[in-house]
């Protein structure tokens, strides 16, 4: 297989980044959580989710989150050794209680349970309550697609988004992640916040000094903010501004649809699961549990039709989309998940770019926890 080198988030400027071998990064992250009292198995999952995000070019959800999780465990809001329990189990559905542990092991467990149920009943739906941040939603859907099922993962999150016709942070960025198996990689992976952008995007704009366009963020007085990302990020953090739902302000371009989709996620992941919703979902580092809710669905394709027919249909679908008349200014027609997959292939080969500030932060964590800092820095390769 010829690798097409591509990075969704290019390190800019390259001199500010270290290229780190993903295996060494994963091993180190695992050591961090073991040293904090997490089970070895759980630590492996947490490390795999975080490093997968970096491999896929979603650095906002990558190892830069290690500090937040470490701080959460230290603050006592995150339990290092949660007792994950199935609290309801009824045919094709179940409810899992995450006991305030990090969401990664709990949701991996929920995904396994959803697939088991899908095998028996055609579909499996598992809601998760009393959880914490679980990294990228796409990770769990992708694991499900890897086993041949269609996967759908939802989660609510801390309040950042203004419900339509309001101006304060109430809804989470509440992502929806759908995966669909294909004959050849990559599988379809649609993983999107129901807000116009996730917070991570604004953080990246702030880091690289890009201007925020009008239509992403609304101030308390109803003004649409634009310009300096660092200033805007500060206002969001200070609760003087909120991210807009997909579709933007008001109803003219469908802001009520983005708002409604965020509600849909909140209802399935938060309300139906018995977890927190809206502003009741708390940040990882807190004096109380996060109360984050998730939902995972697995669909057994074989129950619906012959698998080969399904794979044929998906292949045709993708071919047709790729053959559509391209926008004159577009470089390429992308299939959901393609950018992440190409970035992953590239970074498996040349390493993950870690910003020097994040690198130093990880180093400090290592020192603080008295574990060896075993990241393997690779030489930057031109491609």
Distance CA 321, CA 369 (A): 50
Q: How far apart are CA 220 and CA 223, in angstroms?
A: 7
For a second copy, give the closer residue by CB, 333 or 369: 333
In the bound state with a second copy, the residue whose beta carbon lies nearer, of 256 and 376, is 256
Provide the minimum distance between the beta carbon of 279 and a second copy in the complex, in angstroms, as a whole number. Answer: 7
Count other C-beta atoms under 10 Å from residue 211's C-beta.
11
Nearest approach, Cβ of residue 41 and a second copy (Å): 28
Least distance from a second copy to the Cβ atom of residue 376, Å: 34
Nearer to a second copy, 17 or 170 (CB): 170
| 376 CB burial (10 A radius; 0-12, 13-18, 19+) | middle
Minimum separation from the CB atom of position 298 to a second copy (A): 11
Alpha carbons 132 and 13: distance in angstroms, whole number: 33
Phi, psi of 149 (to 5 degrees): -95, 165
- Judge contact between 252 and 244, C-beta under 8 A: no
Tokens of 90: 């009824």
Which one, of 187, 190, 195, 206, lies nearest residue 60 by Cα?
206
Q: Phi/psi zone of residue 76: left (φ > 0), alpha (ψ -120 to 50 degrees), beta? A: left
Smallest distance from a second copy to CB 182, Å: 11
The least distance separating a second copy from the CB of residue 121, rounded to whole angstroms, comes to 3
Residue closer to a second copy (CB basis): 54 or 266: 266
Cis link prior to 186 (omega < 30° from 0)? Answer: yes
* Spatial contact of 303 and 122, defined as CB atoms under 8 Å apart: yes
Q: Which is closer to a second copy, CB of 35 or CB of 166?
A: 166
Task: Please identify, using beta-carbon distances, which residue of 67 and 88 lies nearer to a second copy.
Answer: 88
Evaluate whether 65 touches 149 at the Cβ level (below 8 Å): no
Q: How far is the CB of 324 from a second copy (least distance, A)?
A: 4
DSSP code at position 271: I
Is there a cis peptide before residue 13, judged by omega within 30 degrees of 0? yes
Residue closer to a second copy (CB basis): 181 or 289: 181
């Amino acid at each position: 297989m010829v690798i097409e080198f591509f990075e969704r988030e290019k390190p800019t400027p390259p001199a500010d980044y270290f290229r780190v071998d993903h295996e060494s990064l994963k091993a180190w992250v695992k050591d961090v959580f073991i040293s904090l009292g997490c089970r070895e198995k759980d630590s492996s999952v947490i490390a795999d989710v975080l490093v997968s995000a970096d491999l896929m070019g979603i650095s906002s959800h990558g190892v830069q989150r290690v500090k937040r999780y470490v701080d959460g465990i230290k603050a006592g809001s995150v339990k290092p050794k949660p007792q994950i329990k199935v609290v309801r189990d009824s045919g094709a559905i179940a409810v899992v209680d995450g006991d305030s542990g990090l969401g990664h092991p709990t949701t991996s467990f929920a995904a396994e349970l959803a697939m088991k149920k899908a095998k028996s009943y055609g579909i499996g739906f598992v809601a998760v309550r009393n959880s914490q941040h679980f990294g990228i939603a796409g990770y769990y859907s992708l694991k499900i697609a890897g086993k041949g099922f269609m996967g759908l993962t939802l989660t609510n999150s801390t309040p950042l988004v203004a419900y339509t016709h309001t101006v304060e942070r109430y809804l989470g960025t509440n992502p929806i992640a759908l995966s669909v198996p294909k004959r050849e990689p990559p599988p379809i992976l649609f993983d999107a916040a129901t807000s116009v952008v996730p917070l991570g995007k604004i953080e990246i704009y702030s880091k690289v000094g890009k201007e925020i366009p009008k239509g992403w963020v609304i101030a308390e007085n109803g003004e649409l903010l634009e310009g300096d990302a660092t200033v805007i990020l500060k206002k969001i953090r200070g609760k003087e501004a909120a991210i807009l739902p997909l579709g933007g302000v008001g109803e003219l371009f469908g802001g009520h649809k983005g708002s409604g989709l965020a509600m849909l996620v909140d209802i399935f992941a938060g309300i139906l699961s018995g977890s927190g919703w809206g502003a009741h979902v708390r940040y990882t580092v807190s004096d109380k549990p996060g109360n984050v809710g998730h939902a995972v669905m697995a669909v057994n394709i074989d129950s619906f039709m012959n698998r080969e027919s399904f794979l044929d249909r998906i292949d045709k679908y993708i071919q047709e989309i790729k053959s559509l008349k391209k926008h004159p200014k577009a470089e390429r027609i992308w299939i959901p998940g393609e950018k992440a997959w190409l970035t992953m292939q590239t970074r498996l080969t040349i390493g993950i770019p870690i910003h020097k500030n994040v690198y130093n932060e990880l180093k400090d964590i290592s020192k603080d926890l008295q574990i060896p800092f075993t990241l393997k820095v690779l030489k930057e390769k031109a491609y």
